[in-house]
Amino acid sequence: MNRYQAPLRDLRFALYDVLGVEALYARLGFASAQRELMDAVLEEGAKFTQNVLAPLNAVGDREGCTHDAATGAVSAPSGFKQAYAQFVDGGWSGLVAPEAYGGQGLPESFGVALKEMIDAANLAWGNYPLLSHGATEALKQHAEEWQRQVFLKPIVEGRWTGTMCLTEPHCGTDLGLLKTKASPNPDGSFAISGTKIFITAGEHDFTDNIVHLVLARLPDAPAGTKGISLFIVPKMKVGRDGVVGAHNAVRCGSIEHKMGIHGSATCVMHFDSAQGWLIGQPNKGLMAMFTMMNTARLAVGIQGLGLADRAFQNALAYARERLQMRSLSGAKYPDKPADPIIVHPDVRRMLLTCKALIEGSRLLAYHAATLVDILDHGADTEEKKRADELLGFLTPIVKACLTEWGVECTYHALQCFGGHGYIAEHGMEQLARDARITTLYEGTTGIQALDLLGRKIMQLQGAGLLAFLSMIEDFCKQHTDDPALAEFIVPLQDKARQWQTLTLEVGKRAATDADEVGAASVDYLFFSGYVALAYWWARAVAAADASSAASADFRTAKRETARFYFARILPRTLAHAEAIRAGAKPLLALDAALFGL
Ligand SMILES: Cc1cc2nc3c(=O)[nH]c(=O)nc-3n(C[C@H](O)[C@H](O)[C@H](O)COP(=O)(O)OP(=O)(O)OC[C@H]3O[C@@H](n4cnc5c(N)ncnc54)[C@H](O)[C@@H]3O)c2cc1C
């Protein structure tokens, strides 16, 4: 059986010891985010995810969702609806939502810890609240007050859920091509017509109503992305007074059969003059939707992290028990018929790769989430500006690296099981299949890389990178005389310098040939991710050494894992740098017509 144990010790270490959230939350005015309450919430979250969600993970994979072609109704797998009811009863749906709309107003970065546990326990189930969270953010920031009262409150309370309807059959990445139409109605609403595909949680049996956030074009809207508006289209019509009326002209035509996350309904949605309400300004919908997409991008990064952790936990338990062959340097457990496979260097390589990527990623992602809190609740304009630049810079790194590492780690973990990883019994192949979607939805890895290099570095003059480099510099200066940290500080400073040089080199080339950006982007993204993780690993060692709560074993584990990271993972940057320096030519030289010869 595939197990999940919420990693509470490391979650607390990340939040309290490394990121110092207690002081941050106090400064940002989160009165209720006290240690005692946060600890209790983490404990309860662990119980809910371990006991309720985790056992349903395999059920969801086996059963999948079902679609009734006659009515368009969709049923989630057994137990999913009941788990959602428990989630709502426990007050989890509004954990980080504003108190003004019925939420508990806890910090976003604290909610990320709960999210990680949910994703690890049951990624497919977690997609339903994930979409509601994204819709909450978009409505909070862009909707009119009546819209917030009518649509946001029920979502926060968990009575309704949200969706994000962007993709159409002919347009995924390139939303400028979208065709769904919106025509004004005499009562101020709009008639929305078109077909959206791949809509997560587009239809299900958890709640009576579903609030679709739909991108569509108004009559005479300019072509491309400048002519896209955002609309609220509820499944059941809702008036300005909040009274729920008849079924809207929205229907789920079918659901997709897919590689993983079978318990998450992926729907084709038909809008046939459905009643909708404009959110924000006409033709500015993409900007509003980006609020939702940015939240969702961080959230999908966390999905990669959660899956990697669950896979690692199971591989570790297996590697301690599975007896095969003897250690090359002599039997380590002579009383047993063979040694457990954890003695073999190659198995340790796979396990340590997972451990190093997971624990480093946790810090990278949780830190990014604290920037959301600073942006939303900070009082200092300069600090908010810096948080905005850093968050914009880190979001594509978190989304793309954590999901790609999620795929890598689930594969390493499966490999530790040998052939037993490939068969369904241990649940490892499900984790590997489930992880695969995370590098695709919410913008593929390639698109995140273009966002990072093309926009955050080239267009915005690397403001976020400079902010991150100054964090590295500050930390290195602070520990410059600390011999215990020198083994990390020196290579970190070196990598930070290489990062700067590489960025300048890419910028120079791109100034004369735009294809250089596309050619360098994914390698640049990984180079950035690995250096960012080196910074967080150095900080983790420093924080563990300084923490009175950390045991000697905990400190040793952090230091040795950091050593492994610096020695065996960070050198991946060398290959990425070489590939970047090779430039666009090797990629573009072969004529497209000659690829298939
Ligand atoms: C299970 C699932 C759930 C989903 N949930 C939702 C949802 O809730 N709402 C929603 O609106 N959508 C959803 N999607 C859609 C998802 O976001 C898109 O599939 C994704 O953005 C990619 O779009 P596409 O599939 O059309 O691929 P395409 O855009 O056709 O891309 C194909 C390939 O080309 C690459 N590519 C495209 N343009 C460029 C470029 N300029 N430079 C470099 N490479 C490029 C891409 O990286 C990719 O590798 C979901 C998809 C799936 C499979």
Q: Under 8 Å CB-to-CB from 105, ≥6 apart: which residues?
A: 30, 32, 96, 97, 98, 99
Position 399 in a domain: no
- Residue 167 Cβ < 6 Å to ligand 1: yes
Position 333 in a domain: no
Task: Please work out, in degrees rounded to the nearest 5, the angle formed at the alpha carbon of residue 481 by the alpha carbons of 478 and 487.
Answer: 95
- Residue 410 Cβ < 6 Å to ligand 1: no
- pLDDT at position 291 is 73
Question: In sequence order, which ranges of 49-207 are alpha helices (DSSP H)?
Answer: 56-63, 80-89, 108-121, 123-142, 145-147, 153-156
Which residue lies with its CA nearest to atom 4 of ligand 1?
198
Task: Give the start-end residues of each E strand in 370-469.
Answer: none
196: CATH: 2.40.110.20
Q: How far apart are CA 432 and CA 425, in angstroms?
A: 14
Q: 269 alpha carbon to ligand 1 midpoint, in Å?
A: 17
Known active-site residue 442: yes
Tokens of 283: 């033709």
- pLDDT at position 288 is 85
Consecutive sets of 10 residues in the chain, 597 residues long: mean pLDDT of each? 96 98 98 96 98 98 98 98 98 95 96 98 98 92 95 97 97 95 97 98 98 97 96 96 96 98 98 97 90 86 98 98 97 97 98 98 98 96 96 97 98 98 97 98 97 94 97 97 96 98 96 95 98 98 96 98 98 98 97 94
Q: Identify which of 526, 498, 57, 494 has the alpha carbon closest to the alpha carbon of residue 310.
A: 57
Dihedral in degrees, nearest 10, Cα atoms 85, 87, 93, 99: 100
Q: 23 alpha carbon to ligand 1 midpoint, in Å?
A: 40
Is the CB of residue 301 less than 8 Å from the CB of residue 398? yes
- Residue 173 Cβ < 6 Å to ligand 1: yes
- pLDDT at position 1 is 84
End-to-end CA distance of the chain: 47
- Residue 440 Cβ < 6 Å to ligand 1: yes
Number of separate domains in the chain? 2
User: 136 φ, ψ to 5°?
Assistant: -60, -45
- Residue 166 Cβ < 6 Å to ligand 1: yes
Which residue lies with its CA nearest to atom 13 of ligand 1?
198
Q: 289 alpha carbon to ligand 1 midpoint, in Å?
A: 16
Position 225 in a domain: yes
Q: Identify which of 101, 113, 96, 210 has the alpha carbon closest to the alpha carbon of residue 163.
A: 210
Position 490 in a domain: yes
Candidate list 442, 487, 516, 578, residue with the active-site label: 442
| Total length of the chain | 597
- Residue 6 Cβ < 6 Å to ligand 1: no
Last-in-domain residue among 237, 254, 283: 283
Rounded to two decimals, the pTM is: 0.98
Last-in-domain residue among 249, 283, 317: 283
Position 174 in a domain: yes
The parent domain of residue 546 ranges over 464-590
Q: How far is CA 285 from the centre of its chain?
A: 22
Position 101 in a domain: no
Q: How far apart are CA 517 and CA 520, in angstroms?
A: 5
Position 193 in a domain: yes
Q: Which atom of ligand 1 is nearest to the CA of 202?
A: 8
Position 373 in a domain: no
Last-in-domain residue among 283, 310, 326: 283
196: β partners: 269
